[in-house]
């Protein structure tokens, strides 16, 4: 069985916990932002991910 090669490029999306740690936002607040449509997210293989561009837009105050 082959091992998958680890991706070493820039992080393109964050799991909820990773987003919270990196941007200093609580889990409840993060889910509230997602529910309100202020923080776009995607579900991939059962995991909710926040695209890096969406996280940065929220930080800049330019989120949709």
pLDDT tens column, 33-54: 999 999 999 999 999 999 999 9
According to DSSP, the β-strands at 42-44 and 47-51 are antiparallel
Q: Which residue ranges form the domains of the chain, and what is each CATH number?
A: 13-60 (1.10.10)
Residue 29, φ and ψ in degrees, nearest 5: -65, -40
Q: How far apart are CA 33 and CA 36, in angstroms?
A: 5
Percentage above 70 pLDDT, the chain: 86
- pTM here? 0.79
Nearest to 16 by CA among 54, 49, 40: 49
């Amino acid at each position: 069985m082959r091992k998958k090669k680890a991706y070493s490029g820039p992080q393109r999306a964050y799991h909820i916990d990773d987003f919270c740690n990196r941007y200093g936002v609580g889990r409840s607040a993060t889910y509230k932002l997602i529910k309100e449509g202020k923080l776009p997210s995607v579900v991939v293989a059962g995991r909710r991910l926040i695209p890096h561009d969406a996280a940065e837009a929220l930080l800049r105050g330019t989120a949709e």
